[in-house]
Structure 1
Amino acid sequence: MESLHISPISKASANQRAGRSGRTGPGKCFRLYTAYNFLNDLEDNIVPEIQRTNLANVVLSLKSLGIHDLLNFHFMDPPPIEALLKALEVLFALSALSKHGELTKVGRRMAEFPLDPMLSKMIVASDKYKCSDEIISIAAMLSIGNSVFYRPKDKQVHADNARLNFHMGNVGDHVALLKVYNSWKETNFSTQWCYENYIQVRSMKRARDIRDQLESLLERVEIELTSNLNDLDAIKKSITSGFFPHSARLQKNGSYETVKLPLTVHIHPSSGLAQVLPRCVVYHELVHTTKEYMRQVTEVKPRDGNGAVRGRVYHYPYPPRLIKKFPETAPLPVGYFYPRVTVFPAGNGFPAGNRLLKNNFFPSKLV
């Protein structure tokens, strides 16, 4: 889950900042906290990013380079073993890895895109549904990293109405983003059109650049650029093919429960489906503010896509040789698994054989 936490800087960062200000000559450094705080509250160094982020893209890149023994790979800052397991699990669920832990044809295609694996899988799946033109536009809009809409304080009602125009028909946030991009394209990428619709010009230009890059990569992975704009079901199935691990079901109290983990979440107020509350949805990401919110939400049917709701659930117990190599896992109760619940595409087999990270997987049980 994406979240912003306010935390103290590290001692190394504090000393670096002091050094920057003293480059041109001697001086004194005044810190806005006590010496006790500096010595006792600040860590020596910040936690490396590889130890606190999603590793699915890193693992996919390593696999594409022919590096399979992830357990013994010499990372500069070794990530947690649990993070590697989670990344491998996600890639297997997306059909990027075979049951033997080898990169599949789908995985090789996915590795060509500089995107999150779920976005890459969505693009690869669009070849089957003949809507690659629409899907790369959606992927580009999702890759911006922030909302394309803005709300001036003195024109909030007008901005909200302009945004809702793209959500007419409860098409979902992904298709709404597609409508935004296509409408902008029809005006020959007009800056004035963005102002009139309360859309950020800079974000749209970045989305256009990303889309151009993705379009050039389609030829490399032998995906034909095809359009299927009138078939929203095909577009939604492509989206679900990549984001079925990010699926949630409506609860009686109006909240949602994620399928992969029993987490209570809500549709973000800015979503076009916030007042509709569909039975089943897939989402692009979770953000934590006052609550856990799903952003960029699309309604799906329970039997759509790659088993978003009807997938199989597996538990992952730690194998004995993992406990032997990592004694810190030993106190965990028998049957502990990471991640706790996983939704796999219906019809996929489960990896068998005594394999850990060298070949990615280990014996498990169906529950």
Structure 2
Amino acid sequence: MRKSDFNYSLPPELVAQYPASPRSASRLLHLDGASGACRDMKFADLPALLRAGDLLVFNDTCVIPARLLGYKDSGGRIEVLIERLLDVHRVLAQVRSSKPPRPGQKLILDGGATAVVQGREGEFYVLEFEIGVKLKESPLPLKGGEGEGKGEGVDESVTEILDRIGHVPLPPYIARADEGADRERYQTVYARHRGAVAAPTAGLHFDEAMLGRLKEMGVDSAFVTLHVGAGTFQPLRVEDIREHRMHAEYVRVLPGDSDKINSAKKEGRRVVAVGTTVVRALETAARDGRLDPFEGETDIFIYPGYRFQIVDALLTNFHLPGSTLLMLVCAFGGTENVLNAYRHAVEGRYRFYSYGDAMFVD
């Protein structure tokens, strides 16, 4: 099975640069996995595709402002993209610079923070932030150095530093700088657990009103946590997809949620995954058709030929050509069906990728 089997042609103007407003104003393409038939809908019509007793499973990860700008103490400009929070002071990160930073080198970050390169793990660097002082009553200097803080000081954690000086880590195909509104819009309304550096984008379409409508009609919900890493945007570098090795991401499935999902499966109710990250979390924790509580890492790679154990229907956005996410959707809905649906979406001028429209596959 080859990477080129999952290509399709996409005009660049169909890549969404901003989200729809309001959230539920996106379009929705319904793909019948059995027949391959496509139906053009609006996301506001999602309740028509669901029924009482269905169990929607959401990823409640929370995106952190993981992109940092600055320079090395030797003078070269850098861009840091946090991959994972290791503890209150250390992170795993990509560092883009003209020359690779060396262990012990200081990175001076715009906005007032310093990190020291501790070492390297593959393509990532371990950075330890030098803990400065956060002032209780008056802020530290703002981006660009404005302002002078006064007041009693306390240690500032990595997450507090990111909140203060970090940028929203918009995907590379969004060809603009992040804006203030992205802090709210590149985040689901149900985000709870901090740690992702990319949004679980299928969930971006839901607002409180939609969640309320679904609850009123008897649609149940459960949650898993998968902290999406920057590796989700890494292209496959091999043509034979069986040679590809996925990046690892943190997953947690709590006992109460696994019990709800197991009950739905036992009672013949549909388990509807909201996004490919939920699929990966559920299928990682599945054992012989049953879901176990789970906490750890997953590097599961789902491509056509995979036998799904838990997921009965999938809500997802449109994904990049030749990507592992597109391969997962093809595994679920059938490669020919899904690629035909993508061609239909291109012809219908749907909006693609993270801030784009949605597809429902059952």
Asked if TM exceeds 0.5, the reply is: no
Larger-gyration structure (1/2)? 1
TM-score, normalised via structure 1 length = 0.24
Greater RCO between the two (CA within 8 Å, min separation 6)?
2
Given the two structures, how large is their TM-score scaled by the length of structure 2? 0.24
Q: Which structure: greater strand fraction?
A: 2
